[in-house]
Amino acid sequence: MSKFYGIGVGPGDSELITIKAANILKEIDILVTPQPKKDGKSLAHKIASPYLNENLEVKERHFPMNFNKEELETAWDNIASEIITDVKSGKNVGFVTLGDPMVYSTYIYILKRMIGKIDITTIPGITSFNNIAADQNFPLVEDKEALVVVPCTMDEEKIDKILKENTNLVLMKVYKNFKNIIELIRKNNLMDSAILVSNSSKGDEKVYRNLENLNEEKISYFSTILINKGWNN
């Protein structure tokens, strides 16, 4: 029976793909991947490339990166409809996404449109913050503590409150609001408890253990901050 697979390919290093994901990538008939901004392949496609079979059909599709709700929903509707048609025609279709499919992923918007219509299997992937924590020996959470994952696109007053009230935090999507986020970290006296990593596990990875005098020109779009108030950086 044909199926749709949502496949997390991890933060960047192809060796961080799970064995299960690698095996599925070898068997699918069609790969759906974001259309790259420039010539070549999307980052998720590049990460998955070592595991793809030679006869694979690749469908690059445009995923708008804006806040135009109508444009976004039209794109998601069209892509989901195409996937459903392909699966019902007898094809095994895979969709690759950075990190984990269920953590701030476009995959979720596609999934919502397909649940109950075709057979779906979602394969987890390693998130950037899991990889950073392990790679930098920086504990995320322990014992009875809670871990709070914060999108830095949310209201700054809410972020400030979260920084005050929690011990262990992951700050994602920091790039566009970087200056204000650093100021909030400084305001809450957390500079010594924070670490920032750009391009986790990629060849151009950068690790910053001192966030003072760091500006957005030095970091990439793929940047994540970890904070552990009980762990001096």
pLDDT tens for each residue of 159-202: 999 999 999 999 999 998 999 999 999 999 999 999 999 999 99
Region 70-79 average pLDDT:
95
* pLDDT the model gives residue 159: 98
The pLDDT of residue 146 is above 90: yes
Q: Does the pLDDT at position 233 exceed 80?
A: no
Q: Quick one: what percent of the chain has pLDDT higher than 90?
A: 88
Give pLDDT tens digits for 13-69.
Answer: 999 999 999 999 999 999 999 988 777 899 999 999 999 999 999 999 999 888 889
Strands, E assignment, 51-200 = 57-61, 93-97, 120-123, 147-151, 168-172, 194-198
Tokens of 192: 């010594």
Can you give the pLDDT at residue 217? 82
Cβ neighbors of 148 (< 8 A, separation 6 or more) are 162, 166, 168, 169, 170
What domains lie within the chain, and their CATH numbers? Answer: 4-126 (3.40.1010.10), 129-228 (3.30.950.10)
- Contacts for 143 with CB less than 8 Å, ≥ 6 apart: none
According to the model, what pLDDT value does residue 82 have?
Answer: 98
Considering the entire predicted model, what is its pTM? 0.93
Other beta carbons within 10 Å of 227:
25
